[in-house]
Amino acid sequence: MKSDSEILREAVRHALRLGADVAGTIPAAMLKNCPSAEADGNQGSVRDDGTYIILGLFHDPATPEMDHWEEGRGTPGDRQLGAIGRSIAGWLNETHGITAELIPYQLDDGGIYLKDAAVIAGIGIMGRNNLVLVPGFGPRIRFRAVWANIESNPPAPVDLTNPCPECPGYCISTCPMGAFETGTYSRQRCMQRMNADKKRAREIIDHCRACELACP
Ligand code: SF4
Ligand code: SF4
């Protein structure tokens, strides 16, 4: 019989075979008081048992339609991640008898702070653009998560080089909203732009990605 950690390693490999570009795991309890949860005064996870499997998908700037958001449908990229997540959950259940499910994207619906989760899982580091910088992909990765009723150990620390100190800060100078002017990311300023994007569009919304696409 396979150990929990072997099953989780297998789940990560399975996610990569299904099309995820990166994947990792994190005990759910580690997200309860993650940095963003502390900053927002929220709890970072409704669960403190089991494990989140974090899935990441590269959003190639050459295929911007992966990010085009439609009411009630989300984005094509997110639908692809959702399909991978559901498949992993089904595989865990059918192959190993483990309860698992794709969790909602939005925090209010039972989601988690995906960027915090990706960083804690060792997938990447937080850049000055408030996006997770993933080796080989930069900040052009979107995340979703599957919760599985299986215990795991905290991820081993990963030594990733932070490119930001050597960079002139292309993300900062390109932001049309000056969202980084104070030295920290202003969610409020960024949201003003996101809301303007929504008003400007009719059915398909093409959100601002300037700070993401400017990052080398
Ligand atoms: S553009 Fe430069 S400063 Fe901004 S996130 Fe990328 S590497 Fe870091
Ligand atoms: S998404 Fe656009 S508005 Fe928001 S921080 Fe990045 S560049 Fe600024």
Closest ligand to C-alpha of residue 163 is 1
Give the gyration radius of the chain's Cα atoms.
17
What pLDDT, in 10s, does the model give residues 54-80? 999 999 999 999 999 888 888 999 999
* CA distances from residue 156 to 8, 116, 120, 159, 168 in whole angstroms, order as listed: 14, 15, 9, 10, 31
Q: Is the confidence at residue 122, as pLDDT, over 70?
A: yes
Q: Is the CB of 196 under 6 A from ligand 2?
A: no
Mean pLDDT score of the chain: 93
Query: Which structure tokens are listed for 156?
Result: 């081993």
pLDDT reported for residue 198? 77
> In the structure, what pLDDT confidence band is assigned to residue 202 with cuts at 50, 70 and 90?
low
| Cα distance between residue 60 and residue 73, in whole Å | 20
pLDDT reported for residue 31? 94
Give distance in angstroms: CA of 171 to centre of ligand 2.
Answer: 8
* CA distances from residue 179 to 5, 73, 148, 182 in whole angstroms, order as listed: 41, 28, 36, 8
Ligand 2, atom 2: nearest CA belongs to which residue?
208
Element holding 38 (H helix, E strand): helix 35-40
148: left (phi over 0), alpha (psi -120 to 50) or beta: beta
pLDDT reported for residue 201? 64
* Residue from 173, 177, 192 to probe ligand 2 pocket by mutation (most atoms less than 8 Å from CB): 177
Give distance in angstroms: CA of 132 to centre of ligand 2.
Answer: 14
> In the structure, what pLDDT confidence band is assigned to residue 113 with cuts at 50, 70 and 90?
very high
Q: Is the CB of 173 under 6 A from ligand 1?
A: no
What pLDDT, in 10s, does the model give residues 74-102? 899 999 999 999 999 999 999 999 999 99
Q: Is the CB of 124 under 6 A from ligand 1?
A: no
Give distance in angstroms: CA of 98 to centre of ligand 2.
Answer: 40
Q: Is the CB of 215 under 6 A from ligand 2?
A: no
Give distance in angstroms: CA of 28 to centre of ligand 1.
Answer: 29
* Residue from 115, 125, 129, 181 to probe ligand 1 pocket by mutation (most atoms less than 8 Å from CB): 129
Give distance in angstroms: CA of 123 to centre of ligand 2.
Answer: 22
